[in-house]
Every structure is written in C-alpha cells, then in structure tokens.
Amino acid sequence: MTNEEVRERMNRFAPPTAAFLKTELLAVDQDAGTVRMAFTVGPELCNPNGSVQGGIVAAMLDDAAAYSAIVFSKRKIFVPTLEMKVSFFAAAKTGRLYADGRCVKFGRTIAFMEADLTDEDGKLLARLSTTSAPRDLPNPKLVERK
C-alpha cells in the first residue's frame, strides 16, 4: 500500500480512542517510520486550570508513537507499552494540537519510539519516549469512522 492508502485506511478504521481524542492522521511515511497526527481538543479534556490534562497529552503522544511503529512494520500489529516517559514543556490548550511520531528502532521483539506534541504555532508542548513489545494482531478491534 502507498503512504496515502495507509493514511486513509488508518483514518477510516481506527481504535476507539481515536474518536475520543478526535484524531486525524495527516501524514505517513512507512519507510521512515514517521506519522503526523492532529487532535481537536475541547474543554472536556482539560483540568480545572484550563490546560489539557497530562494523561490526555500522554495518550495523544502514545498513539503517535504507536502509529509510527505500526506503519514502519507494514503489518497488522499492536505495540503494548513496556515503559514510557513524558516530558512536559508548556501547557497544552484547547484547539488543534499536532503530534509527530517516529519509530527510532524496530527490532524482532522490542521497538523504541518518540513523539512530540506541538500547538498550532509549532511550539513544543511535550515529548514522549517509549519502549514497546510489538505483537502480531490478526483481528484488530477497530471502529469504522465515516
């Protein structure tokens, strides 16, 4: 499949969290193992201070990192997390946020990924580094989005 076909398919058939986070996969590069995603964030994902709750930021970055490994593998896999670290640099606010995920190393049993979250102005808000254990997923539980 071409990068565009993969992008379209992953937007159409997505995990349930994609609807919750209002995720849109904008770009895919299978050979480089990179993805660019957008999230539309409303006040329902914010803490009482008006910033996006840190766990939600981590979920966005986790998805971007996982998608990067999935597209790099060119197979139906899932990437259960073994460990993750998120560094927060600035508060994420409502609106459109962007995540760039990259698969740094994809081995036979372990994958290493990173992801950055930025706002509409390109300001770096948070960075994730994670290690996962890729596994084949013959029957993914995906939701068709129309």
Structure confidence by residue, pLDDT tens digits, 78-96:
999 999 999 999 999 999 9
Cα–Cα dist 46/112, whole Å: 29
pLDDT at residue number 101: 98
Give the model's confidence band at 137: pLDDT under 50 very low, under 70 low, under 90 confident, else very high. Answer: confident
Per-domain boundaries in the chain:
3-144
> Per-residue pLDDT tens for 9-33?
999 988 888 989 999 999 999 999 9
Q: Say if residues 134 and 77 touch (Cβ distance below 8 Å).
A: yes
pLDDT at residue number 79: 94
Query: Is the pTM higher than 0.85?
Result: yes
* CATH level 2 (architecture), domain 3-144: Roll (3.10)
